[in-house]
Amino acid sequence: MSARKQFQSSLTIDAELSELLLKAKQNPVSEDELREQRVSFAFGNAPQSRLITKDSVRRSSQNIRLK
């Protein structure tokens, strides 16, 4: 199989970015942070409506439980 061009790059990684990624990898995510990420994801994927706000998504998420 021939090599793919997307992998034939002489890309250099910024040292500061690499250090920040390493620190982020070592930092555990709290339940509150995960909950807010889920709310943000649901809000961002909701249809455009003046009735849907982050607070309404947050309230709705408190009533939904996965088994």
Question: Into how many domains does the chain fold?
Answer: 1
pLDDT score for 1: 52
Give Cα 20 to chain centroid, integer Å: 16
Q: Which residues fall within 8 angstroms of residue 21, CB to CB, at 6 or more apart?
A: none
> Per-block average pLDDT, block size 10, for the chain (67 residues)?
67 90 92 93 92 93 77
Q: In angstroms, how far is CA 42 from the centroid of its own chain?
A: 11
- Position 7 in a domain: no
Structure tokens at 53: 């706000």
| Residue 14 included in any domain | no
Helix (H, G, I), strand (E, B) or coil at 29: coil
54 contacts 46 by C-beta, under 8 angstroms:
no
- By residue range, what is the domain housing residue 42? 30-67
3-state secondary structure of 13: coil
